């Protein structure tokens, strides 16, 4: 029936499936929109495909989202920038849909297209579109319009510029909080395109409105605006207009706004510059560190190091350190945890003496915290302190902390500390490790929880990498291989896993002399699960060892396993044999 030439056939399918019942097929077609467009040619794309897509605005969100994304890169397919304006109508309708992610994508694509459009086209097509959206009946249109001003404004003639500024200021006072939020979010971008005189007058008055908004959700977005506007203004204007706002925000009634200040503090400091930071923002920051609301303290505590980096060490010791001490005994574990995750970074800022004198007691108390996350966070950043004061001062307290974490009854905690063992090993050195941590690493291989055993096997490998095969031969391999005789098959399996991980690190000699015999031995295990794991391990060893060893030892063992009564054992053994055949063929 089909009279289509074979090469056209797939294109025809794609086009048909733009309207298929199945959303997956529609999605697939939309994703290949550029192919369809190329098949139709530029002119028909402009005249048929784009209008067709404009009609297609009530499809499922996933399809609309994909469409919004594709249209953003569609300029080449409609005939270049001089025809870019044909892409605006379908995106305009997508700017009004109720699903936020579709609107956002449509705005993004519009910006992308607008940035390439010729100036006269912007004035003729883009700005009218923007004005339509900004005056839209539905708030969704007005929300979308806020994100387009920064594209339209630079190309607009003087009169239109005035109009656009007025429009934006209306959006900043819209009845709908959603619109005001969007206006607040996009203010920084828009402000960056506005000329300096208007910036100081018009934009600042809009900013003022937003900072006094009743809705917390609007005000907290204005906090971000502080940073963006601060960078645009002259330093003295910034200090005059932005700094008081930041200080006010840091004392806002709503904890969410204060939280934003705490979170954005570094950017805000950058915006106002170092001097005002020292004079005005230090007190504000100290207040945030002592905020009533734990969430605010969490955010503030997490920025301690970044903030101190802006200050000199003297100011940091004088103002911030007392707060840090308080926070280290905060009633909220999350505050302490946030502090623990950054406090080690303060060591390089404060220098050796201050660190030993002031920070060390805090480290030590956090290392003894009842909440494992706090201890883990300290341990994870050990390297930063090591550089400043060396590990010796800490190691006394470190070991009990590590041991306790290693034996924590929550397996996730144990898992976390295992992750840090290689780091600890490298920081603490071989000697310390041999004495204290080696036994722990072996103990984890016999953990009750699979994830821990799995991580422990990996850990063994990473240690071998860290300290080298010779060390591993002495301190790891014998201990690991010992455990192959464990009565429980799950533990024997862990050892096989560890062997397969260790082999590439240890090299072929040790693999042949030490590891391989153990694996071959395990092929006689009474548990089929062990046996098929042997087959898997052997398969992984094939590339490591010499061909002769494969022929002499591995293959006979696999052949034997391939005749095992158990079907799984036979399956994996056969697979391993096949891969060894391939290996041989390749090497020949």
Chain contacts with another protein (rule: CB under 8 A): 1-4, 7-22, 25, 28, 32, 34-35, 38-45, 48-49, 52, 55-56, 58, 96-100, 138-140, 176-178, 181, 214-217, 253-256, 292-295
- Minimum CB distance to another protein, residue 33 (Å): 12
With respect to another protein, which residue has the nearer C-beta, 17 or 447? 17
| Ramachandran angles phi, psi of 59, nearest 5° | -75, 180
Q: In terms of Cα–Cα distance, which of 107, 96, 108, 17 is closest to 63? A: 17
State in angstroms the smallest separation of the CB of 297 from another protein.
Answer: 11
Identify which of residues 34 and 575 has a Cβ nearer to another protein in the complex. 34
Closest approach, Cβ 59 to another protein, in A, equals 10
Determine the Cα–Cα distance for residues 185 and 164; give it in Å rounded to an integer: 17
CA distances (Å), origin 285, targets 63, 100, 247, 413, 507: 46, 35, 9, 32, 55
Minimal distance, residue 284 CB to another protein, in Å:
18
Measured from the CB of residue 282, what is the shortest distance to another protein in angstroms?
25
CB of 225 to another protein, least distance (A): 18
CB count within 10 Å of CB 6 equals 7
145 versus 553: smaller Cβ distance to another protein: 145
- Whichever of 294 and 315 has its CB closer to another protein, that residue is 294
3-state secondary structure 148-216: CHHHHHHHCCHHHHHHHHHHHHHHHCCCCHHHHHHHHHHHHHHHCCCCHHHHHHHHHHHHHHHHCCCCH
Helices (H), 311-409: 313-315, 321-327, 333-343, 346-354, 360-367, 372-380, 382-389, 392-406
Q: Which residues of 227-252 are buried (b: 16+ CB within 10 A; e: fewer)?
A: bbbbbbbeeebbbebbbebbbebbeb
Which C-beta is closer to another protein: that of 80 or that of 507? 80
138 vs 450, which CB is nearer to another protein? 138
State which residue, 56 or 426, has the beta carbon closest to another protein. 56
Residue 49 or 401 having the CB closest to another protein: 49
Q: How far is residue 226's CA from residue 347's CA, in Å, rounded to a whole number?
A: 30
Within 10 angstroms of residue 549's Cβ, the number of other Cβ atoms is: 17
Q: How far is the CB of 37 from another protein (least distance, A)?
A: 9
Q: Which is nearer to another protein, 29 or 155 (CB)?
A: 29
Smallest distance, Å, CB 19 to another protein? 4
For residue 272, CA distances in Å to 54, 208, 241 come to: 46, 17, 10
CB of 422 to another protein, least distance (A): 34
CA distance 384 to 344: 6
Q: Identify which of 482, 474, 448, 442 has the alpha carbon closest to the alpha carbon of residue 460.
A: 442
């Amino acid at each position: 029936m089909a009279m289509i030439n074979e090469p056209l056939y797939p294109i025809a399918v794609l086009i048909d499936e733009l309207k298929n019942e199945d959303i997956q097929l529609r999605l697939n077609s939309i994703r290949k929109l550029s192919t369809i467009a190329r098949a139709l040619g530029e002119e028909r794309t402009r005249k048929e495909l784009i209008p067709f897509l404009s009609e297609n605005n009530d499809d499922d969100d996933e399809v609309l989202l994909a469409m919004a994304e594709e249209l953003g890169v569609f300029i080449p397919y409609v005939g270049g920038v001089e025809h870019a304006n044909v892409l605006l109508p379908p995106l305009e309708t997508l700017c009004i849909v109720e699903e936020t992610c579709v609107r956002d994508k449509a705005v993004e694509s519009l910006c992308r297209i607008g940035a390439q459009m010729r100036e006269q086209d912007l004035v003729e097509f883009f700005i009218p579109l923007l004005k339509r959206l900004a005056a839209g009946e539905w708030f969704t249109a007005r929300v979308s319009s806020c994100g387009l001003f920064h594209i339209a404004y630079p190309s607009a003639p003087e009169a239109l510029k005035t109009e656009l500024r007025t429009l934006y200021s209306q959006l900043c006072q819209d009845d709908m909080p959603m619109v005001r939020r969007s206006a607040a979010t996009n203010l920084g971008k828009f402000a960056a395109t506005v000329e300096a005189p208007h910036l100081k007058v018009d934009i600042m008055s809009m900013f003022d409105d937003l900072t006094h908004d009743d809705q917390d959700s609007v005000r907290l977005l204005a906090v971000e605006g502080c940073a963006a506007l601060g960078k645009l203004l002259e330093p003295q204007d910034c200090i005059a207009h932005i700094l008081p706002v930041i200080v006010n925000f840091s004392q806002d009634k709503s904890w969410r706004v204060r939280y934003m200040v705490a979170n954005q503090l570094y950017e805000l400091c950058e915006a106002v510059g170092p001097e005002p930071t020292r004079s005005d923002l230090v007190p504000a920051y100290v207040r945030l560190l002592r905020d009533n609301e734990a969430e605010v303290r969490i955010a503030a505590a997490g920025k301690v190091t970044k903030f101190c980096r802006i200050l000199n060490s003297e100011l940091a010791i004088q103002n911030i350190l007392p707060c840090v001490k308080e926070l280290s005994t905060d009633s909220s574990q999350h505050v302490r945890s946030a502090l623990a995750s950054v406090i080690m970074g303060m060591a390089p800022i404060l220098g050796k003496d201050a660190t030993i004198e002031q920070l060390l007691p805090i480290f030590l108390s956090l290392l003894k915290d009842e909440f494992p996350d706090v201890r883990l966070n300290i341990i994870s950043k050990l390297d930063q302190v090591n550089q400043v004061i060396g590990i010796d001062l800490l190691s006394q307290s470190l070991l009990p902390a590590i041991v306790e974490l290693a034996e924590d009854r929550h397996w996730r905690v144990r898992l976390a500390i295992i992750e840090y063992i290689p780091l600890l090993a490298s920081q603490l050195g071989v000697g310390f490790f041999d004495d204290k941590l080696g036994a722990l690493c072996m103990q984890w291989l016999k953990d009750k929880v699979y994830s821990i055993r799995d991580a422990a096997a990996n850990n063994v490998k990473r240690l071998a990498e860290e300290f080298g095969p010779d060390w591993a031969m002495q301190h790891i391999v014998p201990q690991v291989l010992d455990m192959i005789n464990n009565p429980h098959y799950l533990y024997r399996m862990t050892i096989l896993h560890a062997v397969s991980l260790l082999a590439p690190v240890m090299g072929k000699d040790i693999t042949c002399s030490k590891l391989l015999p153990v694996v071959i031995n395990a092929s006689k295990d009474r548990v089929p699960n062990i046996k098929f794991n042997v087959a898997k391990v052997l398969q992984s060893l094939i590339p490591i060892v010499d061909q002769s060893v494969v022929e002499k030892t591995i293959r006979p063992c696999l052949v034997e396993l391939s005749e095992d009564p158990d079907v799984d054992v036979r399956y994996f053994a056969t697979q391993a044999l096949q891969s060894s055949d391939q290996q041989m063929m390749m090497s020949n």
